[in-house]
Amino acid sequence: MKVGVPKEIKNNEFRVGMTPGNVRELINHGHQVLVETEAAAGIGFSDDDYLQVGAQIANTPAEIFEKSDMIVKVKEPQPNERAILREGQILFTYLHLAPDREQTQELIKSKAVCIAYETVKDRHGGLPLLAPMSEVAGRMSMQVGAHFLQKMYGGRGVLLAGVTGVETAKVVVIGGGTVGRNAVQVAVGLGAETVVLDRNLDALRTIEMQFGNSVKTIYSTAESLEKHVLEADVVVGAVLVPGASAPKLVTVEHIKKMKNGSVIVDVAIDQGGCMETSRPTSHENPTYIVDGVVHYCVTNMPGAVPTTSTFALNNATLPYILDLANKGYKQALLKDDLFREGLNIYKGHVTCRSVAEALGLDYLDAKTALQNE
């Protein structure tokens, strides 16, 4: 198979779909890999690094898309990339389609085979290709929160850890999954007062067992969520419904009552965000203020630490890339129902139920679609 790795073009996105090491693995299996020039310059790899492992270098994204059977990326294809996808071409990347009607419709129109990292599942019910970036984003959320709490960035001027004789900041994490656990880990490590809210008691027990009395685990109700959000200095939105739009848990009325200069870090923004006031931002312009509350809603948070993020992502995606290349997408997806959960768009059809329901589009079961080809 011919596999193409284009340079990421989203704002301040320096990650790359495949490192030279992973490219070498593909080539050792008899496949060809075409990498766009300077695709990995942001993490310190040169074109020569790819040439040395047997890759070919392309000068333009158009060449990558024209010559490749499968495109491996990090972030969702941008409009000019979607325009050059072709029928039957495999696209393997993060998509986050539920809040993005325009992208969904253009991918439908392309008739490409679009497999989303974020909806592939494992036998434990986890999301193995989303988890590495959730870890990064969860840990980053505390760095970001601490940074924007500083007065010159619109924050309250509060030190997250406090000092002797002065109260620490209060961090409220909404959601006890991978993002939430990693946010809690850093918040506790920094010495902040930390509260995590969730309706999954098993998730809360896991956090309590890991961190003990260093964190308060609270069952999430309208009352408990309002109480803790209004007391918070930093609120982390860590809610995930796989493939679907995130529920809007923090309302406009909550925002109006929050502390002036408090900070929201909405990690759920890739799926639309879990705050009513959230809207996507970029690393170039990461924040905005609503009713005195600083909102950080960057849709590619891990892109700020691309070296760490790229290697973490590549470690997780390589077995799936090899599976697609070695077997072809049809055999790979039909023989693995958990991998098949990643098929979001198939030759003009929406094959992820959550995406179809979120956007009011017709749904076709992925297995049925593949079998009826």
C-beta separation of 298 from 282 below 8 A: yes
Nearest Cα to Cα of residue 40 among 73, 71, 80: 73
Helix axes 306-327, 131-148, angle to 10 degrees: 160
Catalytic residue among 100, 198, 233, 270: 270
DSSP state of 298: B
Catalytic residue among 96, 228, 254, 349: 96
Catalytic (active site) residue 270: yes
d(CA 337, CA 318): 18
d(CA 294, CA 278): 10
DSSP string, 222-259: HHHHHHHHHH-SEEEE----TTSPPP--B-HHHHHHSP
C-beta separation of 106 from 126 below 8 A: no
C-beta separation of 93 from 73 below 8 A: yes
Nearest Cα to Cα of residue 129 among 140, 138, 139, 120: 120
Catalytic residue list: 96, 270
